[in-house]
Structure 1
Amino acid sequence: MPLLLVSCKMTKETYDSGELKKIGRTSSDLKNGKWKFYHKNGTIFQKGKYLNGAEIGVWEIFHENGKLHQIGKFNNGKQDGEWKFFYENGNKEGIGKLDNGKLIGQWNWYHTNGRIYTERLYTDGKLMNIINCFDGNGKKLDKGTLKDGNGTLNVYDLEGNLLEVQNFKDGKYMLLPKKRTTFCVNLR
């Protein structure tokens, strides 16, 4: 059986300040093996493995304060399987599954205090239904009319104040015409 030798070289990049930005190995100009990326403040930003330039296995992504932000698996460069998200205070933000980089099944999103905010159902990356919606004390709120990917989703703050009504068509968020004044809250 022939032996194949592959040359790997250590690759390192720094910010203008001199702080380490990223470090890992490459072969044939593709990332391979363990890699680490850093925030400008020197704390770890993300770490995981590559195979021929594509993310594989478990990846961890961190907030600038060093606390875990996301953890989940990649398969050939696409998010796959269970992913967990956390706020900067360490409380869980969301949990659910992805298939080939697209949200699937039930996703649970949480308030910053750790209590459940909303339970959502996704199909092939599209938001199809809202099961429940709660304020920061666990009181059930009006979730909107979203069903089978069409309708509205009500967005609330921790106290249960309505911030926005988002419109969805075929599981996708629809921007309102420019003549209306709105603002968006990124809930994923």
Structure 2
Amino acid sequence: MKNIIIVIFTTLLFVSCKLTKETYESGELKKIGKTSNVLKIGNWKFYHKNGEIFQKGKYRDGKEIGIWKIYHENGKLHQIGEFNEGKQNGEWKFFHENGNKEGIGTLDNGKLIGQWNWFHTNGKIYTERLYSDGKLLTIINCFDGNGKLLDKGTLKDGNGTLNLFDIDGNLIEIQNFKDGEYVK
């Protein structure tokens, strides 16, 4: 009897799920995975227009869960981290197109928290930033691509300016923040 129930349940599950595919106008595969009652479930893969994998991970009831990997168009890993009920949680790692680390930090329910470190394309530290509940509180340090300390701006307790530099230490932008949020 137990085996019959398992067979019936598995059959119902298989029948209620359908494979979903979508392609670009060029005919290249855009995404593929299973749906049940129009909600994404199970493993899914998304592709760049050039045919390279863009991202892959799992869904449950239409929400991302578990470890997700996101890739650059050249096929190299761009981001890796975990989702819980559709929100990013835990440590996330970012990589430049050349494979060097780009950033690392923690998210809680989709919001940046704690210290985040960002790196230049050569892999050397660029900036160390502190976040709380998704809001930028302060810049600890800022460096050029050779490790020279730069003027980080005036940001303190979520208010002030943030200076952005290129790898050579040239100032490219000054951003204003109020209560931890970027003000255009």
TM-score (norm 1): 0.90
Alignment partner of 1:121 is 2:124: no
In structure 2, stretches of 5+ residues that fail to align are none
User: What residue in structure 2 maps to residue 73 of structure 1?
Assistant: 82
d(CA) in 1 for partners of 2:171, 2:28: 43
Is it true that 1:54 corresponds to 2:63 in the alignment? yes
Indicate the residue corresponding to 2:38 in structure 1. 29
Q: Can you list the C-alpha shifts for 1:55-80, whole angstroms capped at 9, x where unaligned?
A: 00000000110000111000000011
CA RMSD of aligned residues (A): 1.2
Equivalenced residue count is 175
SS where residue 149 of structure 2 aligns?
Answer: coil
For 1:38 and 1:163, the matched residues in 2 are separated by 33
Residue in structure 2 matching 1:150, options 146, 156, 159: 159
User: Which residue in the other structure is 2:25 paired with?
Assistant: 16
AA paired with 1:166?
Q
Counterpart residue number, 1:179: none
Which structure features the higher share of helix residues? Answer: 2
Q: With the length of structure 2 as denominator, give the TM-score of the two structures.
A: 0.92
> Structure 1 vs Structure 2: percent identity of aligned residues?
78
Are 1:168 and 2:172 matched, yes or no? no
Secondary structure at the residue paired with 1:173? strand
Which residue of the partner structure matches residue 84 of structure 1? 93
The one-letter amino acid paired with 1:75 is N
Runs of 4+ in 1 over 6 A off after TM superposition: none
Query: For residue 107 of structure 2, what is the aligned residue in structure 1?
Result: 98
